[in-house]
Amino acid sequence: MKPFWEHKSLAEMNAEEWESLCDGCGRCCLHKLEDEDSGQVYFTSVSCRLLDSHSCRCQRYTERLRYVPDCIVLEPSQCLDSTALPSSCAYRRLAEGRPLPDWHPLLSGDPESVHRAGMSVRDRVINETRVAEEQLEDYLLDWPDN
Full residue range of the structural domain in which residue 78 is found: 4-139
Q: Angle CA(95)–CA(26)–CA(114) in degrees, nearest 5? A: 80
Structural domains of the chain, count: 1
Within a domain: residue 40?
A: yes
Percent of the chain clearing pLDDT 70 (strictly above): 98
Within a domain: residue 20?
A: yes
Within a domain: residue 24?
A: yes
Beta bridge partners, 57, equal 52
Q: Look at residue 118 and give its three-state secondary structure.
A: coil
Per-residue pLDDT, averaged over 21-25, amounts to 96
pTM: 0.90
Within a domain: residue 146?
A: no
Within a domain: residue 144?
A: no
Sheet holding 41-47, edge to edge: 30-34, 41-47, 126-127
Render pLDDT for 66-103 as a digit per residue (tens, 0 to 9): 999 999 889 998 888 777 788 899 999 999 999 999 99
Render pLDDT for 40-59 as a digit per residue (tens, 0 to 9): 889 999 999 999 999 999 99
